[in-house]
Structures are given as structure tokens and as C-alpha cells.
Structure 1
């Protein structure tokens, strides 16, 4: 085993803490079974299980129903359509899936739950009734599908993801599950993630709230609602999927696109720890650590999946009880245990083999008015602008073929940075979205908007 691999093997004390956490969760949550996994460096580094059946416990290959984590898989399919140029996120649904009656809602709004649609379907509880009760989209949406004006607020909607599943089917011309298998599950090697349960799989249970007795939950096929919560999976598959959400995989989605999915697209609820909702991805703050992933539940099952890109750690928790065990919180705790006990080792610093001479020329201090900034050339080829003091706007920039740089983060995301040169070729100043950055505060030799007082800097006298 090489040195890098040794660093990724969890220490005995860390493994003991992880086991203790799920043991407490299973006991206090009164779950028939719980299975968990933690991945780091792209590989599963720990698996744990606790069960009420003595001498027998599920492992990372046993399927559980994952509920709304299915939505993130559906979102991946939609983003693939966008990346292929088959649709745009600001397209109204009607452009690609006509006749729904809610066609003014955009694809981005459906992905981020800002379309204003109802949280649930009309009629009886869809998770515990046959799909035959909802054979058409009209049965899923009902006569009054809106609760809010589209685009006004985040309102979680299961019917919204049913529409996205139907959108995938309309554009691809094949069933949602078939497209998912070919375009996501097989390329990522998720051979234990399926639309219908495949042995070995757990049974779903309801645990009486006031007595230590159980009752099996009905197992319903969700039909049109499949894209919102149909899938079954394992901790090993989901850990791999979580790392994909952090890193991307070119055969499915690029790192840039999964980063876009993890970017807030809907505002957070002030009463929750959530940082908002991305494009099919829940975002959460856990003790200052930014997590992305999703939670899930269906009768008999709860699930939680989180990944911390900064820590390169993912955690998954699955349990077969309708309620009681907070799978999402436990998954966040598992991730924190590893991140806190065994902090990620930074990559070794390495100098450039060949630095861009133009970018190198721009490095160093700059001033926006009297605000001191510094521009650095990073080893990944990006330019980083950061304040020298405690406050200010920071951003990273990507080089473009025309000699400009495009903002990737922060206030300047999407804005253009360009170096303006004098007749002799020397750099006069930087123009960043009309802001002028000069080598000296209010440099009289640069075209500072509003001009520079000819008497220059002076004291009070």
C-alpha cells in the first residue's frame, strides 16, 4: 500500500466513533436496521451496520428504498439534456412537454422547486396508494396545481419532479428508468441501483411510536411519480454517486456542471439550517461545513446522503423505518466525525512548469479606489483576486482565448477582467466590469472614473 492510500485508511478511533454514532442512532431511532458508509478520496473507507436481528446485519450491498434522493438522479438526466443542447434551463416546460397546463414554469424552476407547484398530488397519499390512481399527468397535478406564483419562492414539489421525469421521456423517447440506467447508472458503475427492488433488499417497516412492535409498510410502484422517489440503492452505490456529485465524471456530467448543480438556485428557509436548494441538490450548513446532497423517505424507509467537497468526504445512511431515525442528521454527523478527527491533507505545493507570462505580469497589488487588493496566479492557471484586508470582494478568474479573464466565483462571477495597455504596451490598469484597478491608489496616470484631483494626496491644513 502506498503512502497516499495509507493516509486514506481511517484510524481505529475514527472507525469506533463512526460505529458508535450509528449504534446510538439505531437504538434511539428504534430502527429495525441501519446501514452506513463513508467515502473519501473517491473510495468507500468505512461501512457500518446495526440491526435488531441478532447475528445478522445488512451490508453495503443490500438495497433500501431511497425516496427523494431519486430526484437528484432525475436532475442529472435533465442537466445532461442541457449540456447536449437539447434544452435550456430557462426554457418554459411547454416548449418541450406541451399540454400540461403548467407550461409557463421553467425547467430551472422545476429543478430548484421554485415553480410554485403544490408539494403533493391531489387525492389520497400517493406514496401508499397504487400508481393506477394517477395514470396521467393531469391526475398528478390536479385542477389547481399552483400554490405560489412561479419564481417567487422555494416550495418543495413532488409533482414538479414528475414533470421532469416526463420531460426526460419526451426528449429521449424512452422510459425514465431506461434512460437513467443507460446514461447514469451504468457509466458510474451503480449496478445495485434499480427502479424495482432486487435481492438482497430490506423490507420497509412502521415502528409503533409508543410500543416496541412493528408492522410492514405497503410497497407501491410509483408509476408517473417514479422520478420523484422510486429508486432502490445501497450505501456503496450511493457513496460512489455522492463523490460524483463532488467531482463529476465526463461520461455523465462534467465537474463544472455538477458544481452548477451544487450552486444555490433557491433561497434558504430562514427557519432551517439549509443554505438553499441547487438544481436537484439540497444544500446545508452543518457546524460551518457546507454540505450538498439529498434526503429521502418513503413509507418504511429513510435515507440521507451528504458530501463535503472541501473535505473530500461523503456519507450515506439508510434505514428501514418510516420515521424515528434522522438519517440526514446521522449522515452529516458521520461526515463531521471523519473530517474533524482526520483533517484532509492539503495537496503538496508545486510550482508552475511554465507560467503564463501575461498573467504573471498582472500579479501583485492593485487598488480599487483606496481598497487594496492582490492578484495571484494559482497553480491551476486561475487568477485569484482577494482583498488585502479583512473585508472585500474575492473572486477567481479563468483565462479566455481573447486574452481576457472571466469571473467564476463571488461578486464578479460572469464578469470580464481585462488588462488595458498604454501605447508602449505596458499595463495602464485593469478593467473589471467597469471598475478600474490601478497600481497606486487613484493613480493619476490611469483613467480613473470621475478623475483625480490635480493637487493629489494632502493632509488637513
Structure 2
């Protein structure tokens, strides 16, 4: 694979029938949604493998280098900047905002709550509507929230989307980095990822934003405002090619920007769903969505004249985006999700080939096989990537994967034992006695040696009654 392939992608990496189905869906969205133009793309395994576009101009469609305003997808960039600060030890997500940025109406709201929109802050700024007015009308942080009642809900209780909350996060980045959030974003994220067409203000070529009359086929230009301090909530402009790069980063991470482990943390639900059959949620700067049986993460975006959507399906190794230049019309978030479904249906992901381990650790190999928590059977397997996997044979939910640590222990990666430690406990002669996972004892036989099982084991052992 050449570097050019990795950056630009190649449309012939998808089958002709897949490309036709994707283009048809985009064409229907542009036509039925009555939008001046629409550009979309699919990313597979880190490559932009397809782009398609339609417009109201015969014989012309925007290419992946045309800028559109991406609205609240901007929040995913701001969240990455904040998580970088956390990973560098400059803040803790549990810190109240006032510890680093004192004097705002949200001093007691934590950084994590701001990221997850669970701080209870107002959804919007005081009037006038910030998306259509110049940012100079709100020069200070005190102008972003009502002084008398900035909180609409108790902090930490529920998800209540707050645009001013992300403006405060942008100011937090500025305070800790000593530079504007836009400059920090360019230096720390955009340049390392090669996203040179993502900017705070539009740069040629870019689409103009329009409102389409609801009852007639006429249009009205929308203002292209600089929202100033509210910029971290939705100011960015980007292109299809750059969003392809961003989707690839959100899917796999890049150690030059943010690790895959931290990105996985960002996409975990931060506030519990309202019901068991949840269809949407929010992590730390990333929206979560269920669509046609898939769990997607990414973000939606809208500003006057523009709508946008970007979703990633980790299970399928796919991502998709859609951009339009109409205030309302086609649901670009829905379209992006559907493009993932179309691609997955036409070209389901091929599993990785099975490969054996390249080296055999005899001590690890000896740990594999059945283990019992009390009388419940489990099996411990050694995977080709060097990870231990514990699974309940009865189909329970306490199975987890564990990666090795420098001290000889193992760290839980998922499910019940996420973050918990697995230790191999040995007899004085070095032979294995049992496994200890967060105080749970696993033995080689059901209710194994009395010395290993807390509370002891009946000395008469197993018997008939």
C-alpha cells in the first residue's frame, strides 16, 4: 500500500455493486432532502475507500477537497485536546472546572461532566442565538451562561446537551496550553494527522450555506459567522478527505495524538441510558448510537446552512460521513449510518486469518484450560496476540480479556473485570495454587484446596445426599 493510497483512498477498493448502491443512496438523499449539494464517504480499515457527491448543478458535484461546516463534530476535536491534557497529567477528569479555570458560572462542574454533557448546564447561551450572531457579542466567559441560573439540572444526574459547556472546555485548553484552542488544535492534532483542510474559518474551495424554503423550491443564503468563544461548540470547517482521516483516527487512534486505549474510554457511555432499549448515548465527547443492530460512535453536527454526520462501526471496521449545505433537509447523520450498513451488507468484513503464536511461553501454556470459580466452570485461553481470555462455559457475563503487566500480573480489558488485576498465586515450591482476580479465587477443580478458597471447603468433600 502506498502512502498516497493511505491518504486519499481508492474508489476501486469497493465492488462496483457496492459503489452503485452507495451512490444511489446519496442521490436519493440529495434529491428528496432538497439540498444544494451533498458529499459522503466510506472509510474501511483506515482507508477512504469511496466518496460520492450530488449537487443541484448539472454535471458538477463537490469533490472531497471542498470544505463544509461540520458543526458539533467540532466537539470531538475539543474532547481529544482535553483527553491529551489528562493523559499528560495536567488535569484529572474528576477535577472541578474552577480548579483550572476559576470564576465561571460552572466552577463546581467537573471536566468529565462537561465532556459528557452531564454537568446540568444550560443547552444554549443567553440570547441572541449564538449560531447566527458574531462572537464579539459574547467576548467573555461570563457571557456564555446566565449568571443567575447557569445550571438547569443537578450536576452528574443526567445527560443534558450543553453547547456553552464545550466553549468552557475550549477555554480550559487555552488556559493550560497558553495558546488559543484553534492553534493548539492545529499544532497537536491537525498537523500530525495531515488534516490541512480543517480550519476555523472557511478557505477556498468551500460550500456556501443555504436555507431551503419548506414549501417552495427557493433558497436563502445563511450567514457564515465567526462564533468567537463559542467556537469549540461548532466552528470548524472540514472536507470529506479530512473527515476520512478523522474517522480513521477515531477508529484506531494514533500515538502521536491519542492512544487507542484513551479513545476506547471516550466511547464508553458516561451517563446511564434512560431505558434498557437505548438507541443513543454519550461518552466523553463522542455520541453513541444503535442503528440496525450496530453500535456506532461518532458525532452529528449542524450550523445554519450545514448539517453533518460521522459514525464509526468498530465491529465492521467501517466508518462513514456525510456533509450537506442546507440548514435542514437530508438527515446526514442517518445517511452516514446507512452508508455503513450498505457497505457491510454488500461486503461483510473478512475475519483475520488464524495464525499460531510465534513463540511459546511454557508457563503461560500451563495456565490454559479449565478453572473453577466455586463450582462454576471457566476456561482460560492464550490468544495469538499474547492476551489471556477467561470465559464462562455456562454463558455468564464475567468473561474478560487480560493483558500482561510488567510486574507479572494481568490487567482486565473488558466486561466484568475491566481494570481489575489477575494474579497467579503460587505455592512455596513455585507451582501454581490458584488465580486471584479482584479477590475471586479460581482453582483447577470445583471448590479446590481449602487453603485457597475463602471460607474453606467442607473437609468431607463432594458426596452424594
Distance in 2 separating the partners of 1:65 and 1:273: 29
**Are the counterparts in 2 of residues 277 and 283 from structure 1 also a CA contact under 8 Å?**
yes
- Say which is worse superposed, 262-271 or 358-367, in terms of deviation: 262-271
For the residue of structure 2 that corresponds to 1:167, the secondary structure is helix
Q: For 1:292-331, list aligned pairs within 5 A.
A: 292-331=297-336
CA displacement 1:159-199 (0-9 Å, x = unmatched): 00000000011111111111111111111001111000011
Distance in 1 separating the partners of 2:196 and 2:437: 48
Distance in 1 separating the partners of 2:65 and 2:56: 18
Structure 1 residue corresponding to 2:44, chosen from 40, 44, 47: 40
Q: Could you tell me which residue of structure 1 aligns to residue 64 of structure 2? A: 60
Q: Does 1:375 align with 2:364?
A: no
CA RMSD of aligned residues (A): 1.9
Q: Could you tell me which residue of structure 1 aligns to residue 348 of structure 2? A: 343
Q: Could you tell me which residue of structure 1 aligns to residue 14 of structure 2? A: 10
Q: For 1:56-455, list aligned pairs within 5 A.
A: 56-143=60-147, 144-270=149-275, 273-455=278-460
**Are the counterparts in 1 of residues 68 and 207 from structure 2 also a CA contact under 8 Å?**
yes
**Are the counterparts in 1 of residues 41 and 321 from structure 2 also a CA contact under 8 Å?**
yes
**Are the counterparts in 2 of residues 248 and 255 from structure 1 also a CA contact under 8 Å?**
yes
**Are the counterparts in 1 of residues 290 and 296 from structure 2 also a CA contact under 8 Å?**
yes
For the residue of structure 2 that corresponds to 1:68, the secondary structure is helix
Deviation, 1:398, is 1.5
Distance in 1 separating the partners of 2:305 and 2:274: 27
Distance in 2 separating the partners of 1:355 and 1:116: 53
For the residue of structure 2 that corresponds to 1:108, the secondary structure is helix
Distance in 2 separating the partners of 1:390 and 1:438: 19
Deviation, 1:226, is 0.3
**Are the counterparts in 2 of residues 267 and 277 from structure 1 also a CA contact under 8 Å?**
no
Deviation, 1:240, is 0.9
1:377–1:8 CA distance, 2 compared to 1 (3 A): farther
Instruction: Provide the TM-score with structure 2 as the length reference.
Output: 0.95
For the residue of structure 1 that corresponds to 2:425, the secondary structure is strand
Distance in 1 separating the partners of 2:274 and 2:207: 34
Distance in 2 separating the partners of 1:239 and 1:446: 57
After superposing on structure 2, the runs of 4+ consecutive aligned residues of structure 1 that deviate more than 6 Å are 4-8
Deviation, 1:34, is 0.6
**Are the counterparts in 2 of residues 119 and 158 from structure 1 also a CA contact under 8 Å?**
yes
Deviation, 1:268, is 2.7
**Are the counterparts in 2 of residues 8 and 41 from structure 1 also a CA contact under 8 Å?**
no
Deviation, 1:457, is 2.1
Aligned residues: 459
**Are the counterparts in 2 of residues 428 and 446 from structure 1 also a CA contact under 8 Å?**
no
1:237–1:273 CA distance, 2 compared to 1 (3 A): farther
Distance in 1 separating the partners of 2:165 and 2:442: 46
Q: Which runs of 5+ in 1 are unaligned?
A: none
Deviation, 1:390, is 2.4
Distance in 2 separating the partners of 1:182 and 1:240: 16
Instruction: Provide the TM-score with structure 1 as the length reference.
Output: 0.96
**Are the counterparts in 2 of residues 366 and 439 from structure 1 also a CA contact under 8 Å?**
yes
Deviation, 1:83, is 1.4
CA displacement 1:309-356 (0-9 Å, x = unmatched): 221111010001111211111000001111121111122222222233
**Are the counterparts in 1 of residues 10 and 49 from structure 2 also a CA contact under 8 Å?**
no
**Are the counterparts in 1 of residues 120 and 153 from structure 2 also a CA contact under 8 Å?**
yes
Distance in 2 separating the partners of 1:361 and 1:115: 49
